[in-house]
Amino acid sequence: MKIKLVRTGGFIPITKAVESDVNLTDKELAGLLKIIQSGPSAPRIKDGNYYELTVGSNSTPVDLEKVPDEYKALFSKLKSDLKIVK
């Protein structure tokens, strides 16, 4: 399944994105999103970065600090592959 991770915000606001095929079932992805989605009242970090995960046509703001251990390697790779959107 294809997923897209987008990073926005920062000291200068640049957008970075990466798309990748992952070996996760719909159920696994739904469970993961439930864990890592950021709450509506998440504080606005001054100059902070924000991440959004898109699966299919649904985009969800996510907090990567909440990523469970078994998915950490996947998200570490996604983050390192982020490219500036020109």
Partner 1 sequence: MCKNHFNPIHCIIPPYMLTRLMESGNKKIADLAINSNFRSFRFHNDRIFFQQSSLHEKTILGLIAKQTGKEIMQMEVYDCKQKTDLAGATLLWDSKTNQKLTSVAGKNVIKGGKASWDFYWQLFGRNSIDNKGLLIRQYVHYDKGMDNAYWDGRRMVYGDGDGMVFTSFTSDIDVIGHELTHGVTENEANLDYENQAGAMNESFSDIFGIMIKQRFNNQDVKKSDWLIGEKVLIGPKYALRSMKAPGTAYINHPELGNDPQPATMDKYENLPNTQSGDWGGVHINSGIPNFAFYVAAYNIGGYAWEKAGRIWYAILTDSSLAQNAKFIDVKNLTIVHAEKIFGINSPEVRAVKQGWTEAKV
Give contact residues for partner 1 (rule: CB under 8 A): 6, 8-15, 43-50, 52, 61, 64-65, 76, 79-80, 84, 86
CA 70 remoteness from chain centre: 15
Distance of CA 28 to CAs 22, 31, 72, Å?
A: 11, 5, 14
**Residue 23 or residue 80: which is nearer to partner 1 going by CB?**
80
CB of residue 55 to partner 1, shortest distance in Å: 17
**Residue 9 or residue 28: which is nearer to partner 1 going by CB?**
9
At 76, phi and psi to the nearest 5?
A: -65, -40
Q: What span, in angstroms and rounded, lies between the C-alpha atoms of 36 and 38?
A: 6
**Residue 26 or residue 72: which is nearer to partner 1 going by CB?**
72
